[in-house]
Amino acid sequence: MGFACDKATVISRSRRIVSIAEKTLPIFQTNGVDTALLREFIDGAKQLVTAAEQNQTENALALAASLTKAFDEILIQVDLIRDSKIKTLVLVGLEVLNVSLEELAQDLQGSLPTGRVGGDAAMVRAFAQRRAWKCRSSQTGRFEKMKWCAAHPDISTVER
């Protein structure tokens, strides 16, 4: 069984996920956030690239599902950050990764079985249907672009 979407797109998105996750590492390190889960995530993303290149659809789906779970575990870790400024900076960095993962999950949906599904397929489908993250000014309550949150982490919040 091959990918229902363009294989090159899956490979490209997978590589982008690796690249973004690697660029997020310094944000974690600079702000004193444990990088172990993010490093495991990067390893899984690299395995996903290999699976996609070798047209291993089922393995790619399983790896994509494990990445969504790992991403959620990273978010749980970020939720434990007490300093709201640091938390906002880290979430802004992760937002780009979230969007890329969501795009990959949307691409892979066509490769999922139809009807009621469980396990890996359900995880990928659920991630593809998540709502977008938003940046909100803590002072005005208005929604702003994510770049605004990055520039003003002391007076903003990332809502997920």
Q: What are phi and psi of 32, to 5 degrees?
A: 70, 25
Q: Give residue-wise pLDDT tens across range 89-134.
A: 999 989 999 999 999 998 887 766 566 567 887 888 888 888 899 9
∠76-27-98 over CA atoms, to 5°? 50
> 141 vs 29, 87, 92, CA distance in Å?
30, 18, 18
Q: Mean pLDDT score of the chain, rounded to an integer?
A: 90
Token look-up 């359900």 returns 122
Indicate if the pLDDT at residue 160 is higher than 70.
yes
Phi-psi map region of 34: left, alpha, beta (phi>0 left; psi -120 to 50 alpha):
beta
